[in-house]
Amino acid sequence: MATAQGAALDRKKLMADPIMVTTIVVLITFLTLFILYPLAILLIDSLYGDGNGLSLSVFKRVLAMPTFTRAIGNTLKIGFVVGILSTLIGLLFAYVEVYVKMNRFAGGLFKLVSMLPVVSPPFVLSLSMIMLFGRSGLITRFLLGIYDNNVYGYWGIVIVQTLTFFPVCYMMLKGLLKNIDPSLEEAARDMGASRWKVFTDVTFPLMLPGLGNAFLVTFIESIADFANPMIIGGSYDTLATTIYLQITGAMDKVGAAAMAVVLLCITLAMFAVQKFYLESKTAATLTGKASRARMLIEDKSVTIPLTILCSLGALFVIVMYICVPIGALFPTWGYKFTPLTFKWFGQVFSKYKGLKAFRDSFVLSLIASPITALLSMIISYLVVKRKFKAKGFIEAVSMLAMAVPGTVLGVGYIRGFSGGLFRTGFLQGLYGTGAILIIVFVVRSLPTGTRSGISALRQIDKSIEESAYDMGADSFKVFMTVTLPLIKDSFLSGLVTAFVRSITAISAIILLVTPSYLLITVQINEFAEKGAFSIACAFATILILITYGSVLLMNLVMKFFGTSRKIKEDE
């Protein structure tokens, strides 16, 4: 009874706040229009695309294509292998950092490795792999004298994706291991169990759901990846590249829509398992925050081999990334390596319209970032601090974009907006403009910012905001003057994360870019496909500097202006 009365009171207070009601309506409209609608259009195209009413004929047609059925098998095979390898390597790195006493050098390498995939385009390692180990590779051809090495295909994709995604598993598992109460493991050790016995019987069961979580996240990232298979895949088909070629090569938009639905179903199934099963299991098996500091392993027979192994792995990844700026200094990659030259950096702006590419990418990302950060915080605020019937819808749909591959979203926007809303011509003006690219950037970055905002808001006591309401402030005033300043660290982090994700994006926007706009990642992809690796490296190097500079600037701003800054007392 009391619960029902409380809910009725919450609804009454909500309806009495026109700003809040308007915000909710605008949010629901935005999420429906730019997330649900494109996906619904793909399904409608797939079921009605042949013009004979409701049927599965389009699915039958694409499933009869040998290239598509082969692409499904290839994609799942790569996803499982990359997921397992990334999880195992991430676990090794995380275990060494949390349980083993390391020197500062190794710790610094780990931090650098965890940051590099964040600040670089998703296909940088494909460039490095080709330049180091391809037929004209610096290592294979010029150091080892191997001329017939083929780095393209299945193993090329697996290695590149594993090196790209294992830092994500490392960061996830590091946080999980830190939350395991060390007293559980120490109790087993006191009873005579060996370190291996403790790991297999105590540590591993506690983190098993987290391992499954890391595997599924990596699996989803792998099967949704477009850029790496496009550059280093060669003739090895994957779902993402097949969908792209079905539109750009075969001009079969309806067939591409059906293919996109198949890929979407796979990622949604994996996302559902990860979200609704493994996350609840993880919360139930962890024992909470550590009660005291963990006793690190100091036995040199353990620390030295593990530290050397992980340090070599980290150094290899770092060398792969360093190869990109070095590759931009060679006169002609694969034929002439001396003398070093900066001509490619000059030609980026003088010959290859680099200024327009960087300006367009920078401006569009800069516009999308504050919109994404603000929307994320508003959604987080509504989810955590407000009670209304549509709250679950807003949270679920805003998180849905996390499970939607970029290529699928791109096809959905083409089918959904090229002819206007439901082919009526309404909102057709969006298609081919910078506005639709900004919307895609916002949608793709929204889940990350929302998760960060929800975590921050759950730490704020509701009485702080209620006191502002009691003094007559409306919801807008409370959000802007009370809530937002308290979560400014999450807001700033979401701002820069959205900028970095937007400026390095490719899979979602490669199908939507028109000649009116040049984007850096699309330019890099085109040059890499043509074999012009030096100019591609020059573009990628400048992009990495921009994104890394953005992250450093954010850290600087948070250090001096964030909520966690040190308050100096007047002497």
Q: What single string gives the DSSP state of each residue in 263-320?
A: HHHHHHHHHHIIIIIIHHHHHHH---S-SS----B--HHHHHHHHHHHHHHHHHHHHH
What does the pLDDT average to over 554-570? 58
Locate 499 and state its tokens: 């900028």
**What is the chain's Cα-based Rg?**
25
Q: Can you name the CATH fold of 60-327?
A: MetI-like fold (1.10.3720)
Instruction: Examine the pLDDT at 38 and tell me if it is beyond 70.
Output: yes
Instruction: Examine the pLDDT at 381 and tell me if it is beyond 70.
Output: yes
- Tell me the one-letter amino acid at 275: K
pLDDT of 568 reads 42
Locate 396 and state its tokens: 């679920």
% of the chain exceeding 70 in pLDDT = 87
Do 261 and 42 form a contact (C-beta atoms < 8 A)? Answer: yes
What global pTM score does this model have? 0.84
For CATH 1.10.3720.10, list the domain ranges present in the chain. Answer: 7-44+342-564, 60-327
Dihedrals phi, psi of 100, to nearest 5 degrees: -110, 140
pLDDT of 78 reads 95
Of residues 189, 358, 396, the one with CA closest to residue 272:
396
What does the pLDDT average to over 286-291? 45
pLDDT of 435 reads 92
What does the pLDDT average to over 446-465? 76
Q: Average model confidence (pLDDT) for the chain? A: 81
Whether domain 7-44+342-564 has CATH 3.30.465.10: no
pLDDT of 285 reads 41
DSSP assigned state of 362:
H
pLDDT of 158 reads 94
What does the pLDDT average to over 107-136? 82
Give strand pairing partners of 214.
none
Pairwise CA distance, residues 208 & 197, whole Å: 16
More confident residue, 295 or 260: 260
Count CA within 13 A, CB hemisphere, residue 361. Answer: 29
At 169-204, the pLDDT tens digits run 888 888 788 777 777 777 777 787 777 787 787 777
pLDDT of 532 reads 82
Instruction: Examine the pLDDT at 161 and tell me if it is beyond 90.
Output: yes
Least confident window among 181-185, 414-418, 481-485, 564-568: 564-568
pLDDT of 367 reads 93
Q: How confident is the model at residue 418 (pLDDT cuts 50, 70, 90)?
A: confident
Instruction: Examine the pLDDT at 137 and tell me if it is beyond 90.
Output: no
